[in-house]
Amino acid sequence: MILSGCPGSKQIKEPVPEFYDCPICGADVEIWTHEMSRKCDKCGNLVTKDELPVCIEWCEYAADCVGPKVLEQFKKRQKESKKE
């Protein structure tokens, strides 16, 4: 069962692009709301968003809300971005 009433998971279930300035070259870097970082296309620098708590990190209904596959992918991306 996927819950539809949780506003906190909307950007994970329905990601949208956000734009950040690369601190090295100033280019726009597109990072989707379900991602934590992306390399700058212009200079190759890794641009990382400020990490904010996301409800699916702690909510007991996270797997029901976004689905187990999405939750697993999210956690995998978080681990990978922390390694970089």
The 10s digit of each residue's pLDDT in 20-74 is 999 999 999 999 887 888 999 999 999 988 766 678 788 888 888 888 888 888 7
In degrees, to the nearest 5, what angle opens at C-alpha 18 toward C-alphas 16 and 36? 90
Contacts of 14 (CB under 8 A, 6+ apart): none
84: Cα within 13 Å, side-chain hemisphere: 16
Kindly report whether the global pTM for this prediction surpasses the value 0.85.
no
SS3 content of the chain, % helix, strand, coil (to 5): 35, 20, 45
Query: Residues near 34 by Cβ (< 8 Å), separated by ≥ 6?
Result: 11, 12, 15, 74, 77
